[in-house]
Amino acid sequence: MIEFITDSQDLVGKKIKYCNFSNMVDMSEINVLATEDNFLMLFNIDSSLTMRCLSEPLGKRAIYRNNCLKKELLNEDVITDEYVKKIEKEFEEANKRKADEKAKKEKEERYKLYLELSKEFGGDFNDEE
């Protein structure tokens, strides 16, 4: 199982299994440090050379959305296909929950509008001209 590191001090004493740093200072570029004991630090470096580590939820989102990062981590044996499938399942379930909640809210709003119109027009929606 992968554990995310959000503080560079947590790397002290750990053996690095894989690292990849971008050559350019670019907040969209994700840098990687992985240890032999399955710790992973994903981070960006901004123009002032400040390092911003991704939390576990943000790290998982980056892996889920960024196919290049996902392939890199898979190719370097930092993560497994099982882990990727687990992340994909988590995000698909979360997306489904959000879609279901949105649909429910829209239905409730339409029903509320129906009740308001029904009250205003006496409940008669026949097309009489």
Q: Check: CB of residue 5 under 8 Å from CB of residue 40.
A: yes
Nearest to 69 by CA among 26, 128, 20, 24: 20
Question: b/e string for 57-86 if b means 16 or more Cβ within 10 A?
Answer: eebbebbbeeeebbebbeeeebbeeebbee
Average pLDDT taken over every residue of the chain: 89
Q: What percent of the chain has pLDDT over 70?
A: 90
Q: Check: CB of residue 79 under 8 Å from CB of residue 73.
A: yes
Q: Look at residue 107 in the predicted model and tell me its pLDDT.
A: 97
Q: Look at residue 129 in the predicted model and tell me its pLDDT.
A: 46
Question: Who has greater pLDDT, 81 or 28?
Answer: 81
Write the pLDDT tens digit of every residue in 53-89: 999 999 999 999 999 999 999 999 999 999 999 999 9
Q: Check: CB of residue 30 under 8 Å from CB of residue 42.
A: yes
Question: Domain map of the chain by residue range?
Answer: 3-56
